[in-house]
A = this chain, B = another copy of it.
Amino acid sequence: MSPRNEEQNEAVKDERREQILSAALRAFASRGFAATKIGDIAARAGLSHGLVYHYFKSKEEIFHALLKRAMHTSTQTLIDIEAAPLPPVEKVRQAAKHILESIENFKDSAYYFLIVAHASVMENAAAEYKELLGSSAVSVQAMARILSAGQRSGEIRDGDAVGMAYTFFAALLGLALYKLSARDFKTPDPEILVNMVKK
């Protein structure tokens, strides 16, 4: 009843939400939306099946919450790298290293990456998530700008910069999927990705 209790309750409430979201992130990213059962999420989060519905209205709402975070975190990484005072090739290297390292070590950011991919192929949701997914092109556009700058300064190969940017992220997406299907798969040397665009 005291204010302190209320604050604690709030803290517990937030903690529970985070537990659920954290469990759901791994589950959705690994198995996709349809194959993920609420029971899976609850078990992973260490709470009862019914309690999930105390914190979220529906399975879909959980996914939506994750997708929002996913869009933010993945675009932010690229925006930060683009703004860094580095030569274009080095920016590409940093991006490749950073993302590959997150995949290799099963960091959240790698799973967010996969959430976006899953959302993209959910055609029924496409309408609903359209605005959110629209910003998924942000990372690609940032990378394309980095590559264009590198082409002007002669460090990056000539050719379609946007196509290269897509291929860069496609490779990372594919590698994340490989890592998921075989946990002992070793992510490759980032330099392989740098070579794709370096002159």
Contact = CB atoms under 8 A, between A and B. Distances in A.
A157 B195 contact: yes
A117 B34 CA distance: 16
B163 A174 contact: no
A30 to B, nearest CB: 7
A169 interface: yes
Contacts of A166: 175, 178, 185, 188
Interface string A147-176: 000000000010110011011011111110
A29 to B, nearest CB: 10
Contacts of A196: 192-193, 195-196
Interface string A23-64: 000000011111100000000000000000000000000000
A121 B181 contact: yes
Contact of A171 (B117, B121, B170): B170
A94 interface: no
A173 B177 contact: yes
Interface of A: 30-35, 117, 120-123, 157, 159-160, 163-164, 166-167, 169-175, 177-178, 180-182, 185-186, 188-189, 191-193, 195-197
